[in-house]
């Protein structure tokens, strides 16, 4: 029994070590981020497309295995690749006097990374609307399934920060988990009036607050990277902030009650209320209001990046690892609370 | 069971009546809330000088409303600190008492909405560029409903905070302010939309949310209050 007691703790540390190493060392799949120039007039142009993530492999001199194709409306425009560097592709293109649509998407067919897409890569200025001349049309090459090994998927605007998924999301999960323990303990306290449940609830809220604050901090970092601001007014973010303030209120309430013998019961009442509000604020309200935050808009899960197998192989261990670490911290705090209670009531 | 519920409702009505009568008899407390509200409106008027954009207008309205609400509800359980508590504890069903206090909060909210909104429009006029509110009924209804979701939450918070022997008022503010954030965000958006004349179809959901929040917090308060009361 005691060996299991230390085993799961070491297990959580090992999982988190795996998550940190894997999370930071796994390469990101390549993706197109930017094109220059972004506006084109009819005529011949040299284009450059910038990429991030895993570098492109050296092109094979024998075969033309890279190809860049622009899409205007439903028609495809031919380009001639002139140079490929690890993180960019240069190509020549001829823009005709008339194009089907002024907004052009870019498709880069690569031998290893499959097809990379950049929507609205170029805008054609001063051109009429009309069909493409036949000599500029391109045929789509046969697509190659990507063969990149273990790598994280490329997502526009998120890019490298996708690794934060392994920190931010499991931290909130852990917070929910331990606050749930606190909720159950507070219900038991109200039912039985026993002090042991109060000690549990206090330990749970204290630990949950740490993870809530960590969740806010990692979320703020992510918001800065993807939305451009440390904090934005969004139902999900408001809910998260209110939740953390609410549970800080729990600690203030306990401190204000001090030595009062009713502290367990009153704190339990407040904690039950706080948990109900947590569910409403973080799980109900954001679903019904417009939110920038992923996984909302009436959808309880994540977006497509959740479906990626390599990300899953690190994300699930992260959820278990952070959850177990959180539970471990909770048991430590509980032991301290028990000792404190014992010393005070001796 | 039915008779039990009926007697609870009778208790609630009796508590509301008692609260309201005591408010009238001890007129200074009612006057204090009204004075606070009107003075805050006047400060807003002096600092805004009749040139207010819609956003600032609603922000000031809800700030005044928020703090008036705190003063009005924050002392709701003051009487229950003393001998009165022991008397009520023996004679009154806690659910009835809570319902009575909530009933009193609804009355207070109605009076406060009329007072704050009325004086606010009287002194500050309409926001810059507006002749009147786009949807006057929605403005009134939104203010009332927003105020209601605010006061019902405050009733519970005050009940918890009043258990603390000293400094309960400050504790009420500490516990209450974060809890009121979602309600205030919804309420400011609703009143702003009502001022601007945003199509009603776009406002439609917000009153529902506010009503749901008021009902939800009231129900939780009713379930949990007996535990505090008997502590």
Size of interface A-B (CB pairs under 8 A): 73
Q: What is the least distance, in Å, from the CA of B231 to any CA of chain A?
A: 6
Each residue of B60-69: pLDDT tens digit? 999 999 999 9
pLDDT at A302: 53
Instruction: Give me the DSSP letters along A41-110.
Output: -SEEEEEEEEEESSPPPPPPSSS---EEEEEETTEEEEEEEEEEETTEEEEEEEE-SEES-SEEEEEEEE
Per-residue b or e along B123-152, where b marks 16 or more CB atoms closer than 10 Å to that residue's CB? ebbebeeeeebbbeebbbbbbbbbbbbbbb
- Tell me the C-alpha distance between A226 and A293, whole Å: 11
| Residues of chain B positioned with their CB less than 8 A from the CB of A248 | 178
ipTM: 0.84
Enumerate the residues of chain A whose CB falls inside 8 A of the CB of residue B205.
288-289
SS3 content of chain B, % helix, strand, coil (to 5): 85, 0, 15
Q: What is the pLDDT of residue B112?
A: 92
B179 touches chain A (CB under 8 A): yes
Per-residue model confidence (pLDDT) at position A64: 60
Does the CB of B226 have a partner CB in chain A at under 8 Å?
Answer: no
Nearest to A242 among B178, B227, B228 (CB): B178
Cα A169 to Cα A22: distance, rounded to the nearest angstrom = 17
For residue A233, which residues of chain B lie inside 8 Å, CB to CB?
185
Question: Mutate which of A247, A273, A279 to disrupt the B interface (most B C-beta within 10 Å)?
Answer: A273
Q: What is the pLDDT of residue A62?
A: 53
* CB < 8 Å to B182, chain A: 238-239, 242, 281, 285
Low-confidence ranges of chain A (pLDDT < 50): 297-301, 304-305
Residue A155 in tokens:
């997502």
- Both tokens of A167, joined, read 């920190």
Question: What are the per-10-residue average pLDDT scores of chain B (231 residues)?
Answer: 74 87 82 90 84 87 92 81 71 86 91 93 85 85 92 90 74 86 89 86 84 90 87 61
Are residues A242 and B181, on separate chains, in Cβ contact within 8 Å?
A: yes
pLDDT, position A17: 96
Given the structure tokens 């209320």, which residue do they identify? A273
Are A273 and B224 within 8 A, CB to CB?
A: yes
Q: Is B173 on the interface with A (CB under 8 A)?
A: no
pLDDT of residue A203: 97
Q: Which helix (H) or strand (E) holds A310?
A: helix A309-345
pLDDT at A299: 41
Option in B156, B175, B227 nearest A249 (CB): B175
- When scoring B175, B190, B225 by the number of chain A Cβ atoms within 10 A, the one with the most, hence best to mutate, is B175
Q: What three-state secondary structure class fits B219?
A: helix
**How many Cβ atoms from other residues are within 10 Å of residue B224's Cβ?**
21
To the nearest whole Å, the CA of A273 is away from the closest chain B CA by 7
Q: What is the pLDDT of residue A149?
A: 80
By the CB < 8 Å criterion, does B222 face chain A? no
| Contact in structure between B153 and B217 (CB atoms under 8 Å) | yes
Where along chain B do its domains lie? Answer: 2-229
Q: What is the pLDDT of residue A301?
A: 46
């Amino acid at each position: 029994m005691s060996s299991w007691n230390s085993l799961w703790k070491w297990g959580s540390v090992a999982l988190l070590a795996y998550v940190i190493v894997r999370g930071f060392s796994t390469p990101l799949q390549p993706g197109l981020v930017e094109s220059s120039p972004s506006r084109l007039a009819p005529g011949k142009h040299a284009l450059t497309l910038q990429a991030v993530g895993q570098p492109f492999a050296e092109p094979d001199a024998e075969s033309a295995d890279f190809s860049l194709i622009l899409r205007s409306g439903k028609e495809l425009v031919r380009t001639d690749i002139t140079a490929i560097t690890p993180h960019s592709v240069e190509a020549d293109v001829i823009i005709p006097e008339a194009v089907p649509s002024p907004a052009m998407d870019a498709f880069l067919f690569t031998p290893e990374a499959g097809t990379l897409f950049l929507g609205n890569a170029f805008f054609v200025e001063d051109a009429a609307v009309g069909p493409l001349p036949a000599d500029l049309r391109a045929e789509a090459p046969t697509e190659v399934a990507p063969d990149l090994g273990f790598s994280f998927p490329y997502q526009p605007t998120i890019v490298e920060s996708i690794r934060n998924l392994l920190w931010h999301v499991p931290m909130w999960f852990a917070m929910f988990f331990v606050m749930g323990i606190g909720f159950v303990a507070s219900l038991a306290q109200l039912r039985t009036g026993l002090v042991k449940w109060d000690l549990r609830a206090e330990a749970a809220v204290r630990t949950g607050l740490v993870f809530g604050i960590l969740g806010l901090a990692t979320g703020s970092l992510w918001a800065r990277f993807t939305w451009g601001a440390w904090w934005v007014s969004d139902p999900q973010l408001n809910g998260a902030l209110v939740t953390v303030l609410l549970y800080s209120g729990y600690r203030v309430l306990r401190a204000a009650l001090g030595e009062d013998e009713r502290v367990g019961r009153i704190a339990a009442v407040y904690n039950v209320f706080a948990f109900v509000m947590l569910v409403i604020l973080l799980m109900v309200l954001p679903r019904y209001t417009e939110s920038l935050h992923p996984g909302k808009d009436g959808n309880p899960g994540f977006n497509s990046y959740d479906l990626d197998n390599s990300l899953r192989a690190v994300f699930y261990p992260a959820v278990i690892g952070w959850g177990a670490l959180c539970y471990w911290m909770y048991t430590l705090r509980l032991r301290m609370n028990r000792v404190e209670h014992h010393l005070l009531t001796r | 069971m039915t008779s039990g519920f009926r007697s609870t409702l009778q208790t609630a009505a009796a508590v509301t009546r008692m609260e309201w009568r005591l408010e009238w008899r001890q007129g200074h407390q009612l006057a204090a809330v009204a004075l606070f509200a009107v003075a805050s409106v006047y400060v807003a008027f002096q600092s805004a000088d009749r040139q207010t954009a819609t956003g600032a207008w609603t922000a000031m309205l809800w700030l005044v409303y928020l703090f008036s609400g705190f003063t009005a509800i924050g002392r709701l359980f003051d009487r229950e600190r003393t001998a009165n508590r022991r008397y009520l504890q023996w004679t009154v069903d806690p659910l009835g008492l809570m319902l009575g206090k909530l009933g009193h909060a609804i009355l207070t909210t109605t009076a406060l909405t009329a007072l704050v909104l009325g004086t606010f429009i009287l002194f500050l006029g309409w926001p810059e560029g507006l002749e009147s509110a786009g949807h006057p009924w929605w403005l009134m209804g939104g203010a009332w409903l927003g105020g209601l979701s605010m006061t019902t939450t405050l009733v519970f918070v005050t009940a918890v905070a009043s258990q603390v022997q000293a400094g309960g008022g400050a504790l009420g503010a500490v516990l209450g302010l974060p809890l009121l954030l979602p309600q205030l965000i919804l309420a400011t958006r609703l009143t702003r939309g009502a001022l601007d004349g945003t199509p009603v179809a776009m406002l439609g959901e917000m009153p529902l949310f506010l009503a749901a929040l008021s009902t939800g917090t009231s129900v939780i308060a009713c379930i949990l209050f007996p535990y505090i009361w008997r502590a």
